Every structure is written in structure tokens, then in C-alpha cells.
């Protein structure tokens, strides 16, 4: 089975089944295991008394170790499995755990439901599960904006990027990307504790997401039914603090005719971010529902592209 076909099969499993709660309770999740290892490395080697350069090198070496160990394990599993339907099935099941299209939709839909029912407290609780900003400070447009930004960015990080690297390099490529992305989410922060130790991981994540973020933005634009998404993405993506997140977020903003990003509160710190599609109005609960529909259409387009890649590989 080609790597693209393996990713298509893994994605189908994930979209249909996700990671069941009973299985999570039984064995947790591969990303949880990975996170446990990263936490151990951070506690062991992120020494606050060391100078910035030493902490950066320690973080880089720790990150490379985590990525190498994860990739080597995935490679060993992939090589050990027989080249049969049973082997392909097991590999697809393992790969499915590292894709997050179903869980992303579920988490954002959990925000849309109470928001549409004018239950701001319930919507704030739901959005706190997917964003880092203080939900108590968010009004109705703020909750909708946070959920849409998470939907756009994580469509790239949680779906397109894993599939992209998996289609190129199989299960090892998928696992390597997941290690990079998990490192970034855990230690790639611009805080006193992580700025030095997680600096290498953050830059590596930027590189790993360069192509997937733009692919995701183009998928949103292509399935939006208008040229506004593409125009907004090309105009505003570079305004975002991230070299990658601005692409799917700006495309989402243009497609839905609303503004995203802008100033936000993290704890007691205000992050004065520029607006994407600044002249447009704030999102509403209905906008969030439209965003979920756009997400599904974009995922269908990506699935078709992946299927075409798998077919081309089989005919080569």
C-alpha cells in the first residue's frame, strides 16, 4: 500500500470512529504518551539557572531526541508489520490516532450549540477546551471568533499537516510531524520558562507547517464559492503573528465575510494582534455554523486530492 493510500485509509478510520472514550480510558492516547516523555525531558534539562544559549541547545537536543525516538518507533512498527491486508489494517489504525479531523469538528460544534442557544456560559466553557485565552473575558462574538480561529488553525495542524507528511513518508513521517507539533504545543511558548528551551521546537514547527498551512488556506478558498477568501488570504495572512496560522485563518475570515484575530487576553496579558479582514463585522453564532460547513467541504476536497495522489501512485 502506498503512503498516500495508507493515509486515506487512516483518515477514513479516524473520521468514522475517532479515538473512542473507552479506548482512551483503557490505554490513553499516543499523543498523551508522547507528551509524558516531553514533560520528562523538559523537567530534566530545562534548568532555569543556565544561560539562554545553553538552555536553547538543551531544548534542541531534547526535541531532536523526542522526534528521533518517535520516528524510529513508527519506522520499526511499519517494517515489522506484514505486507498484507492485516498489516495494512493495523498500520492504518495506528496512523488514524495521529489525525484529528473528527475531534476538531466535535470540539468546535460543542461551542456552536450553546452559542446558538444564547447560552454564553456554556459556550465559554466549551471554547476553553480548545483555546488558551481567558473565556470569562469573551463576549458572544469573541467566543465565535476564538472557535473559528481554532477551527482554521487546527485544520492545518491537526489534519492537513499530518496527512501531508504521512503521504510523503508513511507512518514514520506522520509520527515525526506529530512529535514536532506536540513539542511546539508544549514548550514552544514565548515565556520565561520556554523561550530558550522551546525555541528550536517552535522554529521547527514553523518549517513543518509551511506547506500544509497554505494548502489548508487554499482549500478553504476553493470551497468558499467566492474570490473573497483568496483575496483576504493573500492580503492579510502575513499580518498574523504566526508565519503559518494566518493563511487558513485569513482564508476563513474572507470566506465567511467576518474579521478574525485582533486583540485578545491571555491571563493578565493583552496580546495586541492585528485584525484579519479588519473591515468586516464580527462573527455570530450562525457564522460559526457556516464555518463548520466550510471546514467539512474543505476536508472533502483534501480527501479527493489525497485519493488522486494514491491513485497516481498505484498507476505509476
Structure confidence at residue 54 as a pLDDT band (50, 70, 90): very high
pLDDT of res. 268:
62
In angstroms, the CA 250 to CA 117 distance is 27
Residue pLDDT, tens place only, 129-144: 998 777 888 999 999 9
Report the SS3 class of residue 269.
Answer: strand
φ and ψ at 181, to 5 degrees? -70, -35
In angstroms, the CA 269 to CA 162 distance is 32
pLDDT of res. 132:
78
β-pair partners for 260:
276
In angstroms, the CA 36 to CA 16 distance is 28
Its pTM stands at 0.94
In angstroms, the CA 159 to CA 163 distance is 6
Residue pLDDT, tens place only, 164-215: 999 999 999 999 999 999 999 999 998 999 999 999 999 999 999 999 999 9
Amino acid at each position: 500500500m502506498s503512503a498516500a493510500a495508507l493515509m486515506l485509509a487512516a483518515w477514513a478510520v479516524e473520521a468514522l470512529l475517532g479515538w473512542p472514550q473507552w479506548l482512551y480510558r483503557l490505554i490513553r492516547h499516543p499523543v498523551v504518551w508522547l507528551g509524558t516523555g516531553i514533560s520528562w525531558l523538559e523537567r530534566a534539562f530545562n534548568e532555569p539557572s543556565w544561560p539562554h544559549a545553553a538552555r536553547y541547545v538543551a531544548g534542541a537536543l531534547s526535541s531532536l531526541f523526542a522526534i528521533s525516538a518517535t520516528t524510529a518507533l513508527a519506522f520499526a512498527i511499519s517494517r515489522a508489520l506484514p505486507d498484507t491486508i492485516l498489516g495494512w489494517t493495523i498500520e492504518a489504525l495506528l496512523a488514524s490516532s495521529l489525525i484529528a479531523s473528527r475531534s476538531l469538528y466535535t470540539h468546535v460544534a460543542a461551542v456552536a450549540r450553546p452559542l446558538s442557544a444564547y447560552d454564553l456560559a456554556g459556550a465559554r466553557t466549551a471554547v476553553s477546551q480548545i483555546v488558551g485565552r481567558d473565556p470569562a473575558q469573551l463576549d458572544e462574538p469573541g467566543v465565535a471568533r476564538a472557535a473559528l480561529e481554532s477551527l482554521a488553525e487546527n485544520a492545518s495542524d491537526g489534519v492537513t499537516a499530518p496527512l501531508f507528511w504521512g503521504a510523503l513518508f508513511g507512518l514514520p513521517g506522520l509520527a515525526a510531524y506529530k512529535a514536532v507539533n506536540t513539542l511546539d504545543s508544549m514548550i514552544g511558548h514565548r515565556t520565561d520558562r520556554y523561550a530558550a528551551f522551546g525555541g528550536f521546537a517552535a522554529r521547527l514547527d514553523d518549517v513543518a507547517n509551511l506547506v500544509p498551512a497554505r494548502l489548508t488556506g487554499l482549500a478553504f478558498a476553493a470551497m468558499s464559492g467566492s474570490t473573497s477568501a483568496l483575496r483576504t488570504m493573500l492580503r492579510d495572512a502575513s499580518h498574523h503573528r504566526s508565519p503559518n496560522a494566518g493563511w487558513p485563518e485569513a482564508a476563513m475570515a474572507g470566506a465567511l465575510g467576518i474579521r478574525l484575530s485582533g486583540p485578545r487576553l491571555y491571563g493578565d496579558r493583552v496580546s495586541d494582534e492585528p485584525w484579519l479582514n479588519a473591515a468586516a463585522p464580527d462573527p455570530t453564532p450562525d457564522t460559526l455554523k457556516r464555518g463548520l460547513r466550510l471546514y467539512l467541504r474543505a476536508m472533502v476536497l483534501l480527501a479527493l486530492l489525497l485519493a488522486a495522489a494514491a491513485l497516481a501512485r498505484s498507476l505509476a
